[in-house]
Amino acid sequence: MYTMQRLSAAIQDFLSDLVRGKDVLDVGCVDHTATLEATDTWLHKHIVRSANSVVGLDLLEPEAAKLREKGYDIRSGDACSVSLDRTFDVVVAGEIIEHLDNPAAFVSNMARHLNDEGRLVITTPHAFFVLHFLESIFSSGERRWNPEHVCWYCPFTLENLLRRNNLKIESCYYFTRSRKLRRLLNIFHIPCYGFLASSILIIARKSASFSNLPVMQAEMSA
């Protein structure tokens, strides 16, 4: 049984540690535009620096081609159906599942790209973030929310989706991507409680590999 944990580190640092020395597939790695490669927040660059090997996957072939020119190994394809003819230690799917028409096909296909002890890492906006509720009351969703999103997720619904595709949650973290909110919480020395978490991060493994895993303990870091 997993326990919700508070993620105190920056998401780039956390995932860099998680993939260190691993063979990694980074799905949706372009993150809309190749120009983000020049920024320090572009996640794929952090993963490449830390992992043993990294293959990127994205639908945006023109942007992927620009990044290949800079030396990144990025393939084009639909994550719900593509076959890369190999497996990985870690598949990272950052902020992509909320965009997909067929999330079950995506999870099933990513599971096929995991080796026996591999991990699937999913980050996605948190459905029960308190500001999402307030925005639904006081602002237009068409203006405030991402027009490419087709679904909201919480740990419960993600767990059900993963379980139906023979994956089991190893651990679950909540965190906020908002710099303004993080600064405000730090000023008043307030931990990022679940209802203040704008995002969640799920780490899952194939169910058959869980018999040898120790019970996860929560680290409630402020």
- Domains with residue ranges and CATH for the chain: 4-206 (3.40.50.150)
Q: Which of 88-92, 190-194, 215-219 has the lowest mean pLDDT?
A: 215-219
Q: What is the dihedral of CA 156, 157, 162, 165, to 10 degrees?
A: 130
Q: What is the pLDDT of residue 173?
A: 94
Please write the tens of the pLDDT for every residue from 36-78.
999 999 999 999 999 999 999 999 999 999 999 999 999 999 9
Please report the sign of the dihedral spanned by the C-alpha atoms of residue 138, residue 141, residue 145, residue 150.
positive
Q: pTM of this prediction?
A: 0.86
Task: Return the SS3 of 168.
Answer: strand
Q: Per-residue confidence at 178, pLDDT binned at 50, 70, 90? A: low
CA distances to 83, 148, 181 from 197, in Å? 34, 21, 10
Please write the tens of the pLDDT for every residue from 192-214.
566 678 899 999 999 876 544 44
30 backbone dihedrals φ, ψ, rounded to 5°: -60, -40
Q: What is the pLDDT of residue 217?
A: 35
CA distances to 53, 127, 160, 167 from 217, in Å? 29, 24, 21, 19
